[in-house]
Amino acid sequence: MQFWPMVGGLAKGLGTTTSIFCLTLLFSLPLGLLVALGRMSKFGALRQAMRLYISVMRGTPLMLQLFFFYFGPYYIFNLNLGKLGFWGLDYRFVAVVLGFSLNYAAYFAEIYRAGIESIPVGQREAGKILGFSRAQTFFRIVLPQVVKRILPPVTNEVITLVKDTSLAFALSVMEMFTIAKMEAAAHTTMVPFMVAGLFYYVFNFAVAAAMEWFEKRLDYYA
């Protein structure tokens, strides 16, 4: 086995890993907020639906969910999505991002909810007294304070996500772990795993540093 070509292959996989990571955050962070708001809605049906959603997403294996989104369209609707029409995207990749986004949205929703409920009701009341609409009160007064409070648990989830991206190997998406596994099998060596492990570690080190920087930036008030 040649070392540098192997590292090059892993680095390419790291690109895919990073795409899964970024797209998942892009979709799951806002979606989680919507789910949290639904979970706290005054409409009982919506509340129960979101409760069920969160419970299913958290109560079943993420890998099973990935399989569901990948095979579901074919087994259930007899749809063959092999290659999606737009941007020539591989449906495997789409299924992975879909599965991760929906799964992480459930976890983020519970973090948002805890954060929102931790803001004293007096903040909302002050907003109302000053004439802010409900939306203004939420986005200008409540949410910024929520963001500060939930950064530590969000950091935990984000770090878990970096590692969870390796589950995409189950659908043979060419991300870093899948490639490491193939290289290792082809050359009967542990080295690709060790290099991949190092890459994951550095990735998470950077994530933790970024989150810490963000936390510090919000340190200006108690």
Partner 1 sequence: MSAIPPDEMLVVEAVRKSFGGTQVLRDISFSVRRGEVFGIIGPSGSGKSTLLRCITQLERVSGGKIRVCGETMVSDAPDGTARYAPPAALRRMGLKIGLVFQNFNLFPHFSVLRNLTEAQIHVLKRPKDEATERALGLLKRMGLESKAGAYPCQLSGGQQQRVGIARALALQPEVLCFDEPTSALDPELTGEVLKVIRDLAERKMTMVVVTHEMDFARELADRILFMDGGVVVESGTADEVISRPKHSRTQSFLGRLRR
Task: Please state the closest distance from residue 103 (CB atom) to partner 1, in A.
Answer: 31
User: Which of 85, 122 has the CB closer to partner 1?
Assistant: 122
Task: Please state the closest distance from residue 207 (CB atom) to partner 1, in A.
Answer: 24
User: Which of 19, 145 has the CB closer to partner 1?
Assistant: 145
User: Which of 85, 131 has the CB closer to partner 1?
Assistant: 131
User: Which of 12, 149 has the CB closer to partner 1?
Assistant: 149
Three-class SS string for 127-142?
A: HHHCCCCHHHHHHHHH
Q: What is the residue type of 215?
A: E
Task: Please state the closest distance from residue 132 (CB atom) to partner 1, in A.
Answer: 6
Task: Please state the closest distance from residue 129 (CB atom) to partner 1, in A.
Answer: 5
In the complex, which residues of this chain contact partner 1 (CB under 8 A)?
A: 120, 122-123, 125-126, 128-132, 136, 140-141, 144-145, 148, 220-222
